[in-house]
Amino acid sequence: MTLPRKHLFEMPEGVIYLDGNSLGPLPKGVAAAVQQAVTAEWGGELIRGWNKSGWMAQPARVGNRIAGMIGAPVGSVVMGDTLSIKVFQALSAGLAMRPERRVILSDTGNFPSDLYMAEGLVRLKDAGFELRTVPHEEVMAAIDESVAVVMLTQVGYSTGKMHDMAAVTAQAHAAGAVMLWDLAHSAGALEVDLAGSNCEFAVGCTYKYLNGGPGAPAFIYVRADLIDKVEPSLAGWLGHDAPFAFDLNYRPARSIDRMRVGTPPVLQMTALEAALSVWDGITMAEVRAASLRLSELFIREVEARCPALTLNSPREGAQRGSQVAFTYQHGYAAMQALIDRGVIGDFRAPNVMRFGFTPLFLDEADVIAAVDVMADVLDNRLWDKPEYKAAKGVT
């Protein structure tokens, strides 16, 4: 089957959705799967659902499905918690692997929550630990032998700017550091070769390109040779080797399950599992190629027809993820007006208008139609019009 496959999604009428990079739309089949989990599994099986309905094994089963999309082997990915929690787990495990080092290195374009979680971890540790951030382009030079863990988001959340996963990982390893990749804007958007990169850890969320729904669980990847060795600091009972032995002491599972913490969110996990079927028969190479075609068309059209906007993403496709950012002085107001007209992107402070190109449900005609609306909104400064202000209750 070729792209797009719009018929696999429930998309509201009159919407061009350029925000699948924040919250993916609802795939068909998800509502029925969730309903089944609520009524037949929870309602009908009650506590027996943990075994009969496969809830207990679901985090590893769904993890395997995602592993196949990010170049990871079976048994190296498990689901649970939120991306922030998984960042913390990977970071603390990484620090434990380099006990003589004290520095977490990241970049200032990283998603703030990753930096906050690192700050929180530093506060928990002895004095002397440090989160060090440098601009994107200075990361390679900043990797030195003081660094315990290099933590980067492959595709910057605001600009879409990409790091070269293989090159940065090699540099980290050359300096003796552990490498952690955040794939929030990569999984489902790009070809990712985790095993090939040789990085120790990766984490990601599933509510963006993977269309898992609001608050869908996160994933964590551990390199195969480390799975039996890493120390999960968030040592919850479902990461125990024998959770139902109720031992008083923690003994981590001898599998990727050791990165589990508490009781998994079964209803969210079911939504995600059902949502993943929209990827059947598609390769990430096809998705990436289509996404680049769409985003290049968008950049060309916007630059030709909306001259007030300034491209804030790399122009070269190979250096850009699946989203395109423009800066504009009136970006917030303009984005509100666009959304009112059915063209949904998002705004990132202070002046970034961000648009995601998710080729499972977008095509060239959508891009042209979106820019038609943008040009009209911007040419006419719709947000300044008295009738628009009146409708919004703005005085």
- Residues taking part in catalysis: 111, 182, 207-208, 354
Segment interacting with a copy of itself, rule: CB under 8 A, options 163-171, 191-199, 236-244, 308-316 = 236-244
Q: Which of residues 331-370 bind a copy of itself (CB under 8 A)?
A: 339, 344, 346, 348-349
The pair of three-digit structure tokens given for residue 152, joined into one six-digit string: 């980067």
The answer to whether 181 and 201 have CB atoms below 8 angstroms apart is yes
Q: Which of residues 143-162 bind a copy of itself (CB under 8 A)?
A: 158
222 binds a copy of itself (CB under 8 A): no
Name the one residue in this structure whose structure tokens are 């929180």.
120
120 binds a copy of itself (CB under 8 A): yes
Shortest distance, CB of residue 200 to a copy of itself, whole angstroms?
18
248 binds a copy of itself (CB under 8 A): yes
Strand partners, 204: 219
Name the one residue in this structure whose structure tokens are 């787990």.
89
Segment interacting with a copy of itself, rule: CB under 8 A, options 170-178, 219-227, 263-271, 375-383 = 263-271
Q: What is the C-alpha to C-alpha distance for residues 373 and 379, in angstroms, rounded to an integer?
A: 10
Contacts of 349 (CB under 8 A, 6+ apart): none
Of positions 29, 61, 71, 84, contacts a copy of itself by CB under 8 A = 84
Of positions 156, 204, 213, 331, contacts a copy of itself by CB under 8 A = 213
Query: Helix axis angle, 112-124 relative to 83-97, nearest 10°?
Result: 50
Q: Which of residues 90-109 bind a copy of itself (CB under 8 A)?
A: 92, 96, 108
Nearest-CA neighbor of 168 among 189, 184, 146, 149?
149
Q: Which of residues 272-331 bind a copy of itself (CB under 8 A)?
A: none
135 binds a copy of itself (CB under 8 A): no
The answer to whether 267 and 34 have CB atoms below 8 angstroms apart is yes
Which helix or strand (DSSP H or E) is residue 272 part of? helix 266-275
Between 233 and 319, CB nearer to a copy of itself: 233
The pair of three-digit structure tokens given for residue 61, joined into one six-digit string: 């089963």
Of positions 1, 7, 244, 280, contacts a copy of itself by CB under 8 A = 244
